[in-house]
Structure 1
Amino acid sequence: MEALKVHKKGLMQQLFPQEGETQPRLRFPEFEGVGEWEEVRLNSLGDLVSGLTYSPSDVREEGLLVLRSSNIQGGKIDLTDCVYVDPNIKGANLSQPNDIFVCVRNGSTALIGKTALIPNEMPLCTHGAFMTVFRSHTPKFVFQLFQTSRYQKQVAGDLGATINSINGAQFLRYKFLVPKPPEQQRIAECLTSLDNLIAAATRKLDMLKTHKRGLMQQLFPQVGEGNA
């Protein structure tokens, strides 16, 4: 799994232009010689969807799922820790498949800017006020843009001027170099397939850890028990 992560990191450094460059060092054969990428602001690639402000009295045992920063784990949506509110609550913008879920405010600076794609199989949900959703016509490519060093540097620059938060208007002014749509799609397909391999390897590792833990409990006496 770690080898796959290292491979993806190295590949991204080749597939996206480095600082001071206007085209990547590695291109798929069909795009060689096509030319430089264009610098655009994020607002040309999509729009922000604001989060829900809710109070403890709005929380329910079940109802409308509210995604929070704890639901982003390793670039994926994790539903281990869930909060629900009244489905009829006012001000809830429902998330859609392939929305990009972004943490824009948190007590931990390490979480600011973290992202995850909303999968197709997600239950009906919205997101909390400390989060935002970026809704794009090219979500899988933009999601990969959000994994680049260019994105991370712009997030870090915002944190130097504010208190553990990204301002929405400033976020939409972030600048990125992008190719034409066909090359965007090709890059997104390649990197998404790697993400899927990493996710599958992570699930397998988690299953093995769970199996080992159960086996150890059977093989060795627990506190207060006799011999196995």
Structure 2
Amino acid sequence: MSEWEEIGIGELATFRNGAGIKQEYFSDRGVKLARVSDFTDDSIDISKCNFVSKEHAIKWKSHFLNEGDVVVATVGSWPPNWSSAVGKVIRIPKALGDLIQNQNTCCIIPDNTKLDNRFLFYILRTIEFRWFAGNSAGGSANQARLPVAKLKQFKTLLPPLPEQKAIAHILGKLDDKIELNRQMNQTLEAMAQALFKSWFVDFDPVLDNTLAAGNDIPNELLEMAEKRALVPHSKKLISKAPELAAKFPSSFVFNETLGKWIPEGWEVKSVENAIHVNPSVSIKKGEVRKYVDMKALPTSGYSIDGFIEKGYSGGAKFKQGDVLLARITPCLENGKTAIVDFLKSDEAGFGSTEFIILRGKNQIKTPFVACLARFEAFVNHCIQNMVGSSGRQRVQNSCFNSYFLALPDHELLKKFDLLSKPNFNKITDNSNEIETLTQLRDMLLPELISGRVRVKEEIL
């Protein structure tokens, strides 16, 4: 690698600070605003973005971000909280629509005759840049700031442009597969959630049967029935799986506990009676077990982001297949939920005291519990029943006595598990592959960027 030149990135790119947009310009809709707080590990969570009204956004047209742009957080904390650290770098993915670069960020735009855009991204993902950013930042750990003048001084070994592209191609293929798996998991989860809502909340198969039988529809359900009548017959369960559809009732009864109409013959149970809440698990003090902290719970998907092993000294205890639900604000509102899928069948683990452990009972299995834990009405019920001081409010176990479920017989619950389980198994497989690919990428990154491992330009 003797032909690689060490050079400051300030000589290879232009640097653009984000726009200082006041809160008075925020809106319920319009153009999304890319803030440091919305950065994920390597991208941006657009579901959390604020909006700037379109009429005002035009003022910051020069700060609009494009697909592939590399953006660095110039304000933030410094380790151990790397998730919000100064120097964190993301790359804008496809299909985000219009997006404005906010203040406390710097967009680095490479001279494409000298520096490949994706190679730049990987340069800034190295541990060398992380330490450079932290050591070059001023201020405090709570509000460290990386001046752009300092950012420009970061030096890197620069291979010829074709080799840059070849390196970026290898690392990019791994990242592309990681992202594909993430998207697939989102789709699989959405499919399971849609089936849960259709069967146990909207009662679609029961409405279809009632309409087909010509039975009376309660006034409260007329609007839903009219919508079901518009659904093509070929897309209904009564057409796709008539034997399964026949297991659903064809009429409704009014339930006083729920205060609404439910399928005839279905049983109403509180969550506490339907599933196990914080079930008993035996772990002796000092026993070394797998431990999960709150940071490891995802806000989307169900995969736990790693664990450590340590001696048990207290905390929520769980087993394989249990669902972990955050009980404290703002973790619950942010959607922190996970499925335990890394233990042996006879193994127990433990985690944060701020976890609620949910486990299936009888024919209610993990897929049902996982869907319930992410069901909006159930989560809102938990949020509304939090108690405690502002910022430290917690869900009380008593709230599970007052949330009720309309449940069919065991045969339909078993069928739901049979249909949904492959989705969750595939989610676990994809998540395991993501972990393997991430480790491979992180192992290759420093070797390729430093030139210790060389690639042929012909790889493209």
Task: Normalising by structure 2, report the TM-score.
Answer: 0.38
Offset at residue 218 of structure 1 (A): 7.1
Q: Are 1:147 and 2:125 an aligned pair?
A: yes
Residues 177/227 of structure 1: CA separation in 2 closer, same or farther (3 Å cut): same
Residues 182/57 of structure 1: CA separation in 2 closer, same or farther (3 Å cut): same
The aligned counterpart of 2:105 is 131
Cα deviation, 1:62-99, whole Å, max 9, x if unaligned, reads 22221011332120222110112222335852222221
Offset at residue 206 of structure 1 (A): 4.8
Asked whether the equivalents of residues 52 and 92 of structure 1 are also in contact (C-alpha less than 8 Å), the reply is: no
- Name the SS for the 2:169 alignment partner: helix
Residues 216/66 of structure 1: CA separation in 2 closer, same or farther (3 Å cut): same
Q: Are 1:78 and 2:45 an aligned pair?
A: yes
- Name the SS for the 1:87 alignment partner: helix
In 1: Cα distance, 2:405 partner to 2:170 partner: 54
In 1: Cα distance, 2:151 partner to 2:11 partner: 12
In 2: Cα distance, 1:227 partner to 1:98 partner: 48
In 1: Cα distance, 2:167 partner to 2:36 partner: 27
- Unpaired runs of 5+ residues, structure 1, are 1-22, 24-34
After TM superposition, list the pairs within 5 Å mapping 1:59-74 onto structure 2. 59-74=26-41
How many residue pairs get aligned? The number is 193
Offset at residue 198 of structure 1 (A): 1.6
Residues 71/118 of structure 1: CA separation in 2 closer, same or farther (3 Å cut): same
Residues 196/217 of structure 1: CA separation in 2 closer, same or farther (3 Å cut): closer
In 2: Cα distance, 1:128 partner to 1:218 partner: 35
Alignment equivalent of 2:14, drawn from 37, 47, 52? 47
After TM superposition, list the pairs within 5 Å mapping 1:131-210 onto structure 2. 131-136=105-110, 137=112, 138-159=116-137, 161-163=138-140, 164-206=144-186
Structure 1 counterpart of 2:175, which letter? D
Asked whether the equivalents of residues 72 and 116 of structure 1 are also in contact (C-alpha less than 8 Å), the reply is: yes
Structure number with greater Rg is 2
- Name the SS for the 1:52 alignment partner: coil
Residues 217/175 of structure 1: CA separation in 2 closer, same or farther (3 Å cut): closer
Larger RCO (alpha carbons 8 Å, 6+ apart): 1
Offset at residue 122 of structure 1 (A): 2.6
In 2: Cα distance, 1:84 partner to 1:102 partner: 20
The aligned counterpart of 1:9 is none
- Name the SS for the 2:93 alignment partner: coil
The aligned counterpart of 2:216 is none
Structure 1 counterpart of 2:128, which letter? R
Task: Normalising by structure 1, report the TM-score.
Answer: 0.74
- Unpaired runs of 5+ residues, structure 2, are 193-338, 340-365, 374-399, 408-460
In 2: Cα distance, 1:69 partner to 1:77 partner: 9
In 2: Cα distance, 1:217 partner to 1:199 partner: 23
Structure 1 counterpart of 2:4, which letter? W
Residues 176/216 of structure 1: CA separation in 2 closer, same or farther (3 Å cut): same
Question: What RMSD over aligned residues (CA atoms) do the two structures have, in Å?
Answer: 2.7
Structure 1 counterpart of 2:155, which letter? K
Cα deviation, 1:94-135, whole Å, max 9, x if unaligned, reads 2222210111112x3332111111224231121111111111
Alignment equivalent of 2:369, drawn from 207, 216, 223? 216
Structure 2 counterpart of 1:186, which letter? A
Asked whether the equivalents of residues 119 and 167 of structure 2 are also in contact (C-alpha less than 8 Å), the reply is: yes
In 1: Cα distance, 2:8 partner to 2:73 partner: 19
In 1: Cα distance, 2:22 partner to 2:131 partner: 34
State the identity %. 20
